[in-house]
């Protein structure tokens, strides 16, 4: 995204790997975290996790959708998101967390959610928490899963 989550995480965690397909997102994030040495910015697809030579992780955070104030035609999709989640599972430490936010109102967002969410247990995750922002059935929704 635009780096807000990465900035927050950099202030609270030992190391943050921020991955985005869009160069504009990487540049925006770079500006926000320029004073933090514990951030690695990676210009790649989330579906490429297995080739990025990442260490075992404590957690992965996925924000579906598109870059806020960016090109709304460039969106995440169910196929690449499921592939990325499978690869994240292999890179997570035992009891590691997977945090997924789905924005169901954007084009393709509801379909991505309806396709990805039911498949998460098959990958090997157990759901801990589900949180919707309001009573709107299409509001953003956050799911937190545990590895193992």
- pLDDT tens digit sequence for 27-43: 999 999 999 999 999 99
Per-residue confidence (pLDDT) for residue 75, from 0 to 100:
76
Q: 51-85 pLDDT, tens per residue?
A: 999 999 999 999 988 767 777 777 788 999 999 99
CB 28 within 8 A of CB 73: no
Q: Of the segments 7-11, 22-26, 50-54, 66-70, which one has the largest average pLDDT value?
A: 7-11
Q: What pLDDT, on the 0 to 100 scale, is given for residue 79?
A: 93
pLDDT, residue 144, reads 98
pLDDT at 20: 92
Find residue 136's DSSP bridge partners. none
- Please give the angle made by the CA atoms of 5, 10 and 12, to the nearest 5 degrees: 100
pLDDT band at 7 (very low <50, low <70, confident <90, very high): very high
Rounded to the nearest 5°, which phi and psi values hold at 102? -115, 130
CA distance 87 to 78: 14
Give residue-wise pLDDT tens across range 99-138. Answer: 999 999 887 899 999 999 999 999 999 999 999 987 888 8
Alpha-carbon radius of gyration of the chain: 15
């Amino acid at each position: 995204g635009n780096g807000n989550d990465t900035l927050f995480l950099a202030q609270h965690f030992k190391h943050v790997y921020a991955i985005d397909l869009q160069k504009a997102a990487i540049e925006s994030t770079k500006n926000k975290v320029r004073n933090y040495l514990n951030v690695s910015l990676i210009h790649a697809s989330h579906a490429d996790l297995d080739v990025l030579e990442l260490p075992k992780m404590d957690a992965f955070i996925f924000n579906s959708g598109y870059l806020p104030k960016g090109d709304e035609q460039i969106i995440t999709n169910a196929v690449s998101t499921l592939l990325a989640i499978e690869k994240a599972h292999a890179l997570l430490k035992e009891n590691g967390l997977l945090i997924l936010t789905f924005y169901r109102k954007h084009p393709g967002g509801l379909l991505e959610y309806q396709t990805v969410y039911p498949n998460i247990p098959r990958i090997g995750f157990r759901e801990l928490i589900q949180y919707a922002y309001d009573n709107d059935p299409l509001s953003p929704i956050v799911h937190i899963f545990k590895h193992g």
